[in-house]
Copies of this chain bind each other. A is one copy, B any other.
Amino acid sequence: MRIPICTRGLDDNICMSGSRVSLVIAETALELVPDELSRHSSVRNHARRLQKKSSEILLDRSFHHSAMISGKIKLAWKRGRPDIAHFALLEALSTPLYLEGMLDVYIHTIDDKVIKISPDVKVPKSYFRFEGIIMKLFKEKTIKNNEGNKTLLELCDNTTFEYLINNIIESDNVVGLTSVGARSTADYVAFRNLIVKKNVKCAFIVGGFPKGHFSECTSELFSCSYSIERFALEAHVVIARILYECEKILLHANNGSRGI
């Protein structure tokens, strides 16, 4: 019994775009508590429990809701959700595509910082441990392995989405995944951008924020954009599906068809 995969119609004129893809979790709601909120009682109480200064802890709506609705920060509805980054990152870094070294992962934050994820990084599943690592990263700018000879995570300050795309990833095919994109499916998006488009460096962009859409600064850089479901999906679901479909093409391309 064999199950077909989407290799039908391939010929010399359409070939795979390369052996690597990039994933950017963009405008991610991951940041330190901004100065405007650092004296609010909900923030100070939470910081005390974590035995940190207010300025060293992550903005988190689960604990700082009352501070966030005080009107002191812009775009409050799009911020303070470090759990989204945690899930999205775990989803991406658990895929065979990443584990086989064929995926580069970046987090771009809502306040224009970029976190570069090295190959072979394991993010802790425990949120408590993840939070500790990210707070350390924001303070020290790098997280190294236990031996201190390899950088696992690197934080680049003042790095816009545009700079990330043009100067770090150097992508020439920026694929936005958004509920306002062209209606499609994950398998088609992977097929179209990894097989039909020749020799392009492809970056898939997924939003790391709880609601709303990408800002214009981000979406104007998209080469194309797709919606892979009839309604908005969680970031981690979009990541799971698009990477799985990329993997079918990039990791299993030579099989023709798969199954037992």
**Known contacts A83-B126, A84-B125, A128-B62: A258-B188 contact under CB 8 Å:** yes
Closest beta carbon of chain B to A168's beta carbon, Å: 27
Chain A window 224-246, contacts with chain B (Cβ cutoff 8 Å), 1 for yes, 0 for no: 00000111011011001100100
B1, B49, B231, B234: the one contacting A188 at CB < 8 Å is B1
Within 8 A of B (CB), among A179-234: 182-188, 191-192, 196, 229-231, 233-234
> Cβ of A83 and Cβ of B125 under 8 Å apart?
yes
A95–B234 Cα distance when bound, in Å, is: 9
Question: How far is it, in angstroms, between the C-alpha of A17 and the C-alpha of B124 when the chains are bound?
Answer: 38
Contact of A87 (CB < 8 Å), options: B62, B81, B90, B230: B90
Does B3 contact A187, Cβ atoms closer than 8 Å?
A: yes
| A229 in complex: contacting residue of B96, B230, B233, CB < 8 Å | B96
Q: Are A1 and B83 in contact, CB atoms less than 8 angstroms apart?
A: no
The residue in A3, A91, A184, A191 that gathers the most chain B C-beta atoms within 10 A of its C-beta is A3
Apart from A83-B125, A83-B127, A240-B240, list 13 A-B contacts with CB within 8 A.
A1-B196, A3-B6, A3-B185, A49-B49, A60-B126, A62-B129, A91-B240, A95-B237, A96-B229, A96-B230, A99-B231, A185-B258, A188-B260
What is A's interface to B at a CB cutoff of 8 Å? 1, 3-6, 8, 49, 60, 62-63, 81, 83-84, 87, 90-91, 94-96, 99, 125-129, 182-188, 191-192, 196, 229-231, 233-234, 236-237, 240-241, 244, 258-260
